[in-house]
Amino acid sequence: MKLYLAPLQGYTEIEFRRAWSQFFSGIDVAVSPFIPLAKSFRFRSKHLQDVIPNQNTRIPVIPQVLGIDPEKFIFLATRLEDLGHQTLNWNLGCPKKTVARKKRGSGLLPYPEQLRNILDELIPKLPIKLSIKTRLGFNSPDEFFKLIEVYNDFPLDSLIIHPRIGTQMYDGEMHLKALDQTIGQIKHKIVFSGDISDYKTYESLKTRYPQIDDWMLGRGVLTNPFLPKWIRAGKIENNEGQIRQTLYHLHEELFCEIRDKIKRERPILNKMKDFWSYFARWFKNDEAIFSTLARMDNIDDFMEYLKKVFNEHPLSQAEGRTNRQIKLNK
- CA–CA dist 104, 165 (Å, integer): 14
Length of the chain as a residue count: 330
Average pLDDT, rounded, for the chain: 96
Model confidence pLDDT, tens digit, residues 225-258: 999 999 999 999 989 999 999 999 999 999 999 9
DSSP 74-94: HHHHHHHHHHT-SEEEEEE--
Dihedrals phi, psi of 316, to nearest 5 degrees: -85, 165
Q: What percent of the chain has pLDDT over 90?
A: 95
Contact criterion met (CB below 8 Å) for 318 and 236: yes
In degrees, rounded to 5, the angle at the alpha carbon of residue 104 between the alpha carbons of residues 103 and 106 is: 90
Contact criterion met (CB below 8 Å) for 268 and 26: no
Q: Please report which confidence band the pLDDT of residue 47 belongs to, taking 50, 70 and 90 as the band edges.
A: confident
Contact criterion met (CB below 8 Å) for 158 and 189: yes
SS3 per-residue string spanning 248-264: HHHHHHHHHHHHHHHCC
Specify which residues 191 forms β-bridges with. Answer: 160, 214
Q: Could you tell me which of 284, 309, 230 has the C-alpha nearest to residue 25?
A: 230
- CA–CA dist 323, 148 (Å, integer): 29
Taking the domains of the chain in order of start, what are their residue ranges? 2-233, 240-312
pTM of the model: 0.96
Model confidence pLDDT, tens digit, residues 26-44: 999 999 999 999 776 677 7
DSSP 214-234: EEEESHHHHH-TTHHHHHHHT
- CA–CA dist 180, 265 (Å, integer): 49
Per-residue confidence (pLDDT) for residue 40, from 0 to 100: 67
Max CA separation in the chain (angstroms): 59
Model confidence pLDDT, tens digit, residues 82-112: 999 999 999 999 999 999 999 999 999 999 9
Per-residue confidence (pLDDT) for residue 88, from 0 to 100: 98
The edge-to-edge listing of strands for the beta sheet with 159-165 is 35-36, 64-66, 87-92, 129-137, 159-165, 190-193, 214-217, 2-5, 29-31, 61-62
Is residue 330 pLDDT above 60, yes or no? Answer: no
- Which of these CATH numbers, 3.60.15.10, 3.20.20.70, 3.30.1310.10, 3.90.580.10, describes 2-233? 3.20.20.70
- CA–CA dist 324, 26 (Å, integer): 22
Tell me, what amino acid is at 283? F
Per-residue confidence (pLDDT) for residue 65, from 0 to 100: 98
Per-residue confidence (pLDDT) for residue 39, from 0 to 100: 73
